Amino acid sequence: MNSFQNKKEQETWDNFIAILKEKLPMPVWVESLEPAIPIFENIDEIFLIKSNQNFAINFLQHKHLKEVEEAFFEACGFKRAVRFIFDENVKPKKKQKLTTNQKEHIQTAQKMENLAQMHSFCGLNLKYTFENFVEGENSKFPYRIAQMIAEAPGQKYNPFFISGSVGLGKTHLMQAIGHKILKNFPNLKIRYTKAEEFGNKLIETLNTCKNASDLNEKMKKFRDMHRNVDVLLIDDIQWIEGKKRTEEEIFNTFDALYHAGKQIVFASDRPLSAFELIPDRLKSRFEWGIEANITIPSLETRAQIVKRHSILSNFPINDDVALFLAQEFSTNIRELEGAYNKASALASIEGVELSIDKVKEFLELDSKKKKITIDNVIDTCCKYFNVEKEDVLSCARAKEVVNARKYAIYLSREMLELSYPVLAKEFKKNHTTIMYQYDKLKDEIKTNKAMRLISEELGELIKR
């Protein structure tokens, strides 16, 4: 089979190999392609025929296909999809003997691939590492505690309870602990799960049992999954509140791991003091270790976060654009990174530099300024405390309803500067009741840290 029909095809192939070697972090991988037979006949596709599908080819095909296609684009002058075909009858060119340095590169890459698979098996995302976490004043304390735990799991600060509003980095920090422990102690078993996933698997296990024997067998398998580990990381633990069966299983899992000296880490979007429905015996277990709160990062820290994210995404931005994005997206790091992702993608498609004007254009920021209303305030408080709006506007006295009502009154007064008569009309209460509720919560917030955090969190949620 003659792959080159003319001199131009030979030159294209040679240029492609040279370009790809520059693009890849480990050029040694390109050598696995050099004996391939390229077929250029299809204008939309290039077929690379190989006799075998080895590790190096898999690495290129699944990890660096984009770079392969880009290299062909630069060599050919127009885009073509690349397709790998494997034919045992193809006789490849004589293979060059690998140098010691090349062998070391391959071994390093194999180790990296094995590590990625190990982290994935534990439920960990490779991007959530300490190296990628931007530490600020808002996260200094939980960050330092997390690092100490990763150095000596199960020995100190157990359990570790990370709290903070949505999108501030709790999951990142929690998973960073897992990654660092895997690096320091590769033989330890780690499991990361979300509380909702834990609860759903528990219910599924219970509902699919046919008899007592089946129940025992399936529950043993479920419990081994979460108890036969050295480190258990449970995210969004607030989800279990009020779910009796899941609370019971978490309690027993906690006891089994804690008394065996295993490390436990929880993350929650609310501080422990705001857990009002959870059983006291379980809440007290959470309090045995240490709680650390991640607050909203400063403007400078947010700018550093988006700048770091841009570098990791291979589309760096300048300081002015990073600062502008940090100003526009002030309460949620996920939203900040998502805004950058959208803007940078559109800039890449258009082939332009990402400027402040382009960010405004791509994200339509001028048309998205939110006007806060009293309905926004009430609806947010109702959602936060999981109550109905009609109950808040009635005389209902259930604890969660009362909490939603008093925060809604306080924040309506603080954020909208509404008069007491207007608030009385909106909340269907008399003037003095509104004054009392506002003044009481205002005084409590000054001295009660948990209540202040709830107030701040609700305020940021309302602004979104």
CATH architecture group of domain 7-100: 2-Layer Sandwich (3.30)
Q: Is the dihedral of CA 263, 255, 276, 273 positive or negative?
A: negative
Calpha distance 324→454 (Å, rounded): 27
| Angstrom distance (rounded) from CA 331 to CA 301 | 12
Q: In the structure encoding, which two tokens stand for residue 126, read together?
A: 């490779």
Check residue 10 and give its pLDDT. Answer: 79
β-pair partners for 49: 37, 85
* Residue 364: partners with Cβ closer than 8 Å, 6 or more residues away: none
Domain assignments of the chain as residue spans, ordered by start: 7-100, 140-294, 299-367, 374-463
Backbone CA torsion sign across 152, 153, 156, 162: positive
The DSSP call for residue 241 is T
| CATH number corresponding to 140-294 | 3.40.50.300
Rounded-to-10 torsion of CA 309, 313, 314, 318: -30
Q: Can you tell me the distance from the alpha carbon of 209 to that of 217, in angstroms, rounded to the nearest whole number?
A: 9
Q: Is the pTM of this model over 0.95?
A: no
- Annotation: CATH topology of 299-367: Helicase, Ruva Protein; domain 3 (1.10.8)
Mean pLDDT of successive 10-residue stretches along the chain, which has 464 residues = 63 81 66 72 71 66 78 78 71 50 53 51 79 89 95 93 88 93 88 93 89 88 92 94 93 95 94 86 93 88 90 85 87 85 86 88 71 88 92 91 94 86 90 90 88 87 81
d(CA 290, CA 174): 14
Residue 393: name the closest of 404, 385, 383, 384 by CA.
404
| Token duo for residue 59 | 């690495």
Long-range contacts of residues 60-69, Cβ cutoff 8 Å, at least 24 apart:
60/29, 60/32, 60/33, 64/24, 64/29, 67/20, 67/23, 67/24, 68/20
- Partners of 232 in the β-ladder: 191, 264
Instruction: Determine the pLDDT at residue 93.
Output: 47
Looking at domain 374-463, its CATH class is: mainly alpha
How many other β-carbons are positioned within 10 Å of the β-carbon of residue 98? 13
